Amino acid sequence: MALSAPANVRAPSRVGTLIGRAARSREVTLAAVVVVLSMFVWFEAPNFLSSTNLISVTALTAIIVIAAVGEALVIITKNIDLSVESTMGLVAFVVAEMLKGQNIPLPAAWALGIGLGLALGMANGVVITIFRVPSIVATLGTLSIYRGLTYWVANGQEITTSDLPNGYTDPASQTIFGVPLFVILAIAVVIVAALILRYTVFGRQVYAVGSNAEAAATIGVGARSTVFLVFALAGMLAGVAGVLWGIEFGQLYASSASGESLAVIAAVVVGGVSISGGSGTVVGAAIGALFLGLINNALTVLNLPQEWLQVIYGAVILLAVVTDALVQMRTQRAKARSRMR
Amino acid sequence: MFHRLPRAAAGVALALVLAGCSSSATPTPAPVITPAPVITPAPATPTAAPATPTAAPTATPCPTGGITGNIVMLPKQINNPYFDVAFKGAQNAACDLGGTLTEVGPSSADATLQIPFIQTATTQSAKAILVSADDANVIAPALKSAMAAGIKVVGYDSSPAVGAYSVFVNQADTAGIGKGLADMACDEAPNCTGEIAVLSAAQTATNQNAWIAAMKTTLTGSKYAGLKLDGVYYGNDDPTISTTQTTAMLAAHPNLKVIIAPTTVGIVAAAQVVTSQNLIGKVFVTGLGTPMGMQTFVKSGAAPEFALWNVTDLGYLAYAVAVDLLNGTIKGNPGDTFTVPSLNGGAPYTIGANSVVVLGPPFVFNAQNIDQYVASFGF
C-alpha cells in the first residue's frame, strides 16, 4: 500500500503524513483489526478461513452491508432510520407471497419488492420532511407499522421453501470465481454509493445537510429534499436487502429480520459514520458490517462459552471503537505537536 | 396481489386429523405496540361454508348442547402458525363440546403483554382461560387472581408456574421428547456413531432446556455410546442467529454428523445451511419442526426425519380439559382420569404430578409420510 517506503530520503515527512492519514481513517484501522482478528481466529480454528465458512458468513453479511449503505446515507444527514428491519421483513414476505400465490416471473417479483422498499422509504421521507417529525420518532412509528403490515399480509402463515420456486435459495450459495454472488452485488452497491457521495452534487449535499443544515440552507442546499431522497434510497436498499433475505433463508416468518435494525446501525457506527452527522463513508459502514459478521461467527467457532457471547460481542464492538478513538487522538496530538515545532 | 391459500379445514379422516366444523376465521391484524385485546371470531355458526368452492364441503354442523359461556384462549403470540393450529384444534373442540371460544394475545411473545389479556378475561367473567405462558412466573399472579374469581385456568404448550393453573396440558413429556431426539440422532448418524451438536432456541427457553437435559440423559445409554455431543448452541429462534450459529458450529467441528434442533425455526435454518454448504449426505439435521417447513429438506435428505406432537390435538385437549373442569367431571387433582372420545384412541387420560396431563409421544415425520401431514396439518 502507500506504506512501501519511497527511496527518496527527503520524503519522510510525506510518508509520515500518509501513515497519519491512513491511521486517521477509520476504514483502514478497522480493516486492519479485521485482518488481525481473522488471523488470530484462524490460528485457533483453521476452519474459520475455510471457503465454505467464509462464503456463508460473507453472504449473510452482504445483506447487512446493502442495508447499511442506506442507513449510512441517512445517518450522515444527521437522521436515523429505525424502520429498516421492518422494511426488509415486509419486502421479503411480500416477494415470497407473490411467488407463492401467482405465477409471476422472478425478476418482476424482485423489482416489485425493491419498488415496495422505495415506497416505504418515501413514506418515511414524507413524514419526516413534510410533517416535520424527527426521524427517530417517525421511523419508530413506521418500524411498528411496517411490521404490523407484515403480520397482516402473513395472516398467521409462514412461507417455506416448498412454497417457493425450485432452487430459489440457490443464488445465496453461488459464487463467481470463488466470490459469493451476494458479495459481488454488495460491493457494487458500495462502489456506486461511494462514487455518488464523493463526486455528485447530491453527495456533497448529504454531507452539507448533516454537518450544518442551516448553513446548507443559506447556500441554497435544500435540506428537506436531500433528506427525503436519502430516506427513499435507504428504503430502496432495504428493499434490495429484503429480496436477498428471502433468497438466503427461503423460510419467511411475519417476524423475519426482526432486530436487524440494530445490527445495521451498529455496522454503520462501528464503520466510523458519526451519529452526529456530516462525516463517515459507506465503505466504512461496509467494513463495519463485515467486522461484526466475522466477530459473530468467530466467537462461536472459537467455542467460547455460549452464555458469554453477547457480552464478548458488545465488548469487542466497544474495544474497536475505543481503539479507533485513541488512535485518532494520538495522531491528532502528534499533528498538533509537529505544527508547533 | 396477496393471494392466500385458504385455510380450509377439510374433514380428512386421518389418524392425526380432527374433522370438525370448519370456520374461515380471519384474525384481526395484530396491534403492534398496545396490548389491546384482539378478538378473533368465535367458531362459526353451523352454516359456515369452507372458504373455497374447491374444498370439499364436508364440515359437519356443530351439535347443539354442551356447555355455555366464553372460554378465552391466550397463546404466547397471535399470528404464529403453531398457535393458530392449536387454536384450530380448540375451535373443533368448541364445536363438539359447546361454549364460545375467543382467542386473544400479544403480537410478540412477551409475558408482560399477556397480563392485560388475563385481567380483561377476569373482569369479563370468562368461564375458563387456556394459556401458553411466555414466562411461568410473570403471569402467575394474574392467573391466580383469575382462579380466585372462579375461572378455570388450563395451561397448554408452555406451563405457567405450578399453582397458577388448574391443569397443564403438556404436548409430550420431557423424557419422551428427549429420548425421541436421541433416537433420531442415532438413526441419522451412520452406524449411530460420530459427533453431534444441538442448535437450541434461547438459553432461557424452558422447554428446550428440559428436552436437551432429557436427551443428554438418554445419550448416556450404551446404545448411544458412539455419539459424541460437541456442544449446545443457541439460535434464539431467530433465522439469522440460527444460521450464524450453524455456520460457526460446522466450521468449529468439521466432523459433525448430526445437528439436533429442537425448535421449529432452528431446524429450518440448520437444514438450509447444510443445503447451501452442499453438505447433504454428510451432515444430517433432525429435531422438532413443522411438516410444511421441513418438507423440502426431508425430501432432499438434509433432514431425513424429525418429530413433532400433534398441535391440533393439543388445542383440542386443552379445551376438553377446561370443559371437564367446568362440568365437574375432573377437579384437576393428580390421579383424576377422563376420556376424550376423539383423542388417545378413546383411552383415558390420567392427570399426573403437579396436575399435568400428557398429550402423547412425539410423532416422527420422514420421507414416507411428510406429504400426507403437510396436507393435514397445513403448517
Q: What is the pLDDT of residues B194-231, one digit of tens each?
A: 999 999 998 888 889 999 999 999 999 999 999 999 99
Summarize the confidence of residues B99-103 as an average pLDDT: 94
The whole-angstrom separation of Cα A223 and Cα A208 is 9
The predicted pLDDT at position B57 comes to 40
Q: C-alpha cell of B372?
A: 400426507
The predicted pLDDT at position A15 comes to 56
Mean pLDDT over all residues of chain A?
88
The predicted pLDDT at position B51 comes to 37
Instruction: Indicate if the pLDDT at residue A147 is higher than 70.
Output: yes
Q: Which of A44, A158, A174, A244 to mutate to test the interface with B (most CBs of B within 10 A)?
A: A158
Domain ranges of chain A: 27-324
Domain with CATH 3.40.50.2300 in chain B: 67-172+310-361, 174-308
Q: C-alpha cell of A267?
A: 455496522
The yes or no reply on domain A27-324 and CATH 1.10.3470 is: yes
| Chain B residue whose CA is closest to A306 | B233
Instruction: Indicate if the pLDDT at residue A151 is higher than 60.
Output: yes
Q: How far is CA A34 from CA A28, A49, A310, A331, B145, in A?
A: 10, 12, 19, 21, 55
The whole-angstrom separation of Cα A89 and Cα A150 is 7
Which amino acid, residue A196? I
Instruction: Indicate if the pLDDT at residue B33 is higher than 80.
Output: no
CATH of B67-172+310-361, one of 3.30.413.10, 3.60.15.10, 3.40.50.2300, 3.40.980.10: 3.40.50.2300
Q: Write b or e for each residue in B158-168: b if 16 or more Cβ atoms lie within 10 A of its Cβ, otherwise e.
A: bbbbeebbbbb
The whole-angstrom separation of Cα A118 and Cα A232 is 5
The predicted pLDDT at position A33 comes to 84
The whole-angstrom separation of Cα A289 and Cα A305 is 23
CA atoms within 13 A on the CB side of B4: 16
The predicted pLDDT at position A11 comes to 43
Mean pLDDT over all residues of chain B?
84
Query: Does the CB of A103 have a partner CB in chain B at under 8 Å?
Result: no
- The number of C-beta contacts closer than 8 angstroms across A and B is 150
Instruction: Indicate if the pLDDT at residue B32 is higher than 80.
Output: no
The predicted pLDDT at position A14 comes to 58
CATH code for the structural domain at B174-308: 3.40.50.2300
Q: Write b or e for each residue in B97-107: b if 16 or more Cβ atoms lie within 10 A of its Cβ, otherwise e.
A: bbbebbbbbbb
Residues of B in contact with A151 (CB under 8 A): 29-30, 32, 79, 107
The predicted pLDDT at position A12 comes to 46
Q: What is the pLDDT of residues B316-362, one digit of tens each?
A: 999 999 999 999 999 999 999 999 998 888 899 999 999 999 998 78
Q: Kind of pairing, strands B98-103 and B67-74? A: parallel
Instruction: Indicate if the pLDDT at residue B15 is higher than 80.
Output: no
Burial of A95 per CB tally in 10 Å (0-12, 13-18, 19+): buried
Instruction: Indicate if the pLDDT at residue B123 is higher than 60.
Output: yes
Reported pTM: 0.74
Residues of A in contact with B254 (CB under 8 A): 47
Q: Where are the alpha helices (DSSP H) in chain B?
A: 81-97, 111-123, 140-148, 174-188, 206-219, 239-252, 264-276, 291-300, 311-327, 370-377
Instruction: Indicate if the pLDDT at residue B102 is higher than 90.
Output: yes
Instruction: Indicate if the pLDDT at residue A225 is higher than 60.
Output: yes
Q: Do A253 and B239 make contact, defined as CB atoms within 8 angstroms?
A: yes
Give how far B121 is from chain A: nearest CA, Å: 23
Q: Write the DSSP string, A43-110.
A: HH-GGGGSHHHHHHHHHHHHHHHHHHHHHHHHHHTT---TTHHHHHHHHHHHHHHHHHHS---HHHHH
Q: Quick one: what percent of chain B has pLDDT higher than 70?
A: 84
Picking from B247, B249, B272, the nearest residue to A250 by CB comes out as B272
